[in-house]
Amino acid sequence: MRRRKTLLRMISIQRVLVRHGLDDIITATHFLRPLRFLFYLFPKAKDATEPLGKRIRLALIELGPIFVKFGQAVSTRRDLLPPDIADELAMLQDQVPPFPANEAIAILDKAYGRPVGEIFSRFDKEPFAAASIAQVHTAALQDGTEVIVKLLRPGVRQLIDQDLDVMYAIAGLADKYWDTGKRLRPLEVVAEYEKTIIDELDLAREGANTAQLKRNFEGSELLYVPDVYWDYCRPEVLVQERIYGTQISDMDALRKAGVNIQVLAENGVEIFFTQVFRHNFFHADMHPGNIFVLIDDPEKPKYAAVDFGIVGTLSPMDQQYLAGNFLAFFDRDYHRIAKLHIDSGWVPPETRIDELESAVRSVCEPIFNKPLSEISFAQVMIRLFETARRFNMEIQPQLILLQKTLFNIEGLGRELYPQLDLWKTAHPILRQWMADQMGGRAALKRIKEDLPQIRDALRDLPGVVRYLSEQIANDKLHFDVRAPELDDIRKQLKAQQRQRYFLATGATAFVSGVLVLTLGSLAWPGWVLIAAGAAAAVAGRPRA
């Protein structure tokens, strides 16, 4: 039954593309070619004379949320698209057709268990913005606080589940029959995307993401995150502070206000790298519809972000490898990049490091020290993917959100300030992060975090040593070892039992003294413990 629904959905997708005059997409898609005979069963395009960009936009809207999100992501890449198509796709960021106001009110009445008029002093029926997953209305709380009310689209979960089935079906075929399918790990990629898109359907989770980002940037001059009004939030309803700012895509308004565009662009890069490396919690849906600029002080513009349904995190190991790769790239250390790829397991261990180094150099060297206006990361990524294919590099599904975010950041930066020196802006941030992670302060922080476990281990150590010594001395702990010296060793262990007590006690006192000196406010107890530990160690030293 499920397979039949998936096949019907695929035919439905083809029908929509044909109806909007996008037949070429089908003929260019290898998987859909066997279904070309269905062209003759479907009505032709309503009006093939409509601009191509408009036809693509309308087709994506009709196909549903997942396709709209694809259009949103692509819309930021004006370096890859003709201007007319980019302009049309940009409309997908917040100009998707809304669902009726009476449905919105019915959702709220059901969510709160009472009429919407009892919750808000004003609820504006005309949507403020409409996107693929949800739409937003403006409103006011009973005390007059201006808010936005975000509501999930009715039936959106069913549509997404249906399209995920299609994606899994295509990914399964790719994994089974496509030569490079194993390396690209399509099923894992779809699974990673499924987690992301399903999380976005829980507006309570989005509220929690918003609150976390607000804490991360508390007091920051770079980014403002709106307040969440938890008393009014539900899984299908999010109520938060209304932001009054200029949309980042409105370049005319920003220039008219005298905004320092260079500072704005550099701040955007700093925000991105701060989120990814310092906070390890980044906004992963940074298309222009979600980014505003507060211009109270045009020389010090401040970002304001909304829509935190999609956020990303990285494992500490991925953070380390990525930061190392970025820094090695900034330093033109291509040997280091190749080594990091092998050490991380992203390429097979038998890869020749000199060959990978040469391949990476040929891709990266031509773009170094160029302004953003002369670089296309998309083109670089394509060449890197070609290099990756040669070395059997596997796609890392956990990094897809980060790659998508970087893709959007580049698109925004290109629009804002094409002369942006990305390397100059990002380099000191990464240097500082690496210093924080590897330096003495980071080591002390880790010791402090592990102090309870260290304390418990040290407290238990004498007992463990005593138990093992008694077991060995009483011949209760047996080793499957056959050697003439074993009897002598047993005799020596009994004589050494007293020495072990001293050594264990000495070690405990010595380590405790070091910790007290490192973390405590008074020095003398630490020195006393170190002296006692040294004395115990001398008393327990092996006898000649």
Encoded amino acid at 269, one letter: V
DSSP assignment letter at 219: T
Q: Which residues contact 331 (CB under 8 A, 6 or more apart)?
A: none
| pTM of the predicted protein model | 0.67
Three-class SS state of 439: coil
User: CB of 250 within 8 A of CB of 261?
Assistant: no
Measured between alpha carbons, how far apart are the two ends of the chain, in Å? 82
User: CB of 197 within 8 A of CB of 160?
Assistant: yes
**CB atoms inside a 10 Å sphere around CB 113:** 7
Tokens for 264?
Answer: 């704005």
Phi, psi of 92 (to 5 degrees): -75, -15
* Burial bucket for residue 198 (CB in 10 Å: 0-12, 13-18, 19+): middle
**CB atoms inside a 10 Å sphere around CB 411:** 24
**CB atoms inside a 10 Å sphere around CB 468:** 14
The yes-or-no answer on residue 285 being catalytic is yes
Q: With CA atoms as reference, report the closest residue to 327 among 423, 407, 396, 441.
A: 423
DSSP assignment letter at 78: T
Q: How far is 494 from 480, CA to CA, in rounded Å?
A: 19
Q: How far is 151 from 109, CA to CA, in rounded Å?
A: 12
DSSP assignment letter at 95: B
User: CB of 206 within 8 A of CB of 200?
Assistant: yes
Per-position pLDDT tens, the chain of length 544? 566 666 677 777 777 777 777 766 555 554 445 555 555 555 555 556 778 888 888 888 887 777 777 776 666 556 556 778 877 877 776 667 888 999 999 999 999 999 999 999 999 999 998 877 889 999 999 999 999 999 998 988 888 887 788 777 777 766 666 555 555 567 776 777 777 788 888 899 999 999 999 999 998 999 999 999 999 999 899 999 999 999 998 899 999 999 999 999 889 888 988 998 889 999 988 778 889 999 999 999 999 999 898 888 888 888 888 888 888 887 888 898 888 888 887 788 888 889 888 988 888 887 766 665 676 655 665 566 567 667 777 666 666 677 777 777 777 777 788 887 777 777 888 888 887 776 655 556 656 666 666 666 667 667 766 666 666 666 665 555 444 555 665 566 565 666 666 666 666 666 666 665 565 555 666 666 667 766 666 665 555 4
User: CB of 393 within 8 A of CB of 183?
Assistant: yes
Beta strands in 50-204 (DSSP E): 120-123, 129-130, 134-141, 146-152
Catalytic residue of the set 23, 79, 163, 285? 285
User: CB of 348 within 8 A of CB of 392?
Assistant: yes
User: CB of 79 within 8 A of CB of 378?
Assistant: yes
Question: Across the chain, which distance is largest between two alpha carbons, in Å?
Answer: 99
Q: How far is 329 from 19, CA to CA, in rounded Å?
A: 47
Three-class SS state of 128: coil
Tokens for 202?
Answer: 């829980």
Place of tokens 């690209």: 184
Q: With CA atoms as reference, report the closest residue to 373 among 417, 404, 405, 336.
A: 417
Q: Per-residue b/e over 216-254, b at no fewer than 16 CB within 10 Å?
A: bbeeeeebbbbebbeebbbebbbbbbbeebbbbbeeeeb
Q: Which residues contact 203 (CB under 8 A, 6 or more apart)?
A: 134, 150, 152, 233, 234, 235, 236, 237, 238, 309
Q: How far is 131 from 146, CA to CA, in rounded Å?
A: 21
Q: With CA atoms as reference, report the closest residue to 358 among 338, 342, 375.
A: 338
pLDDT at residue 31, rounded to an integer:
46
Three-class SS state of 253: helix
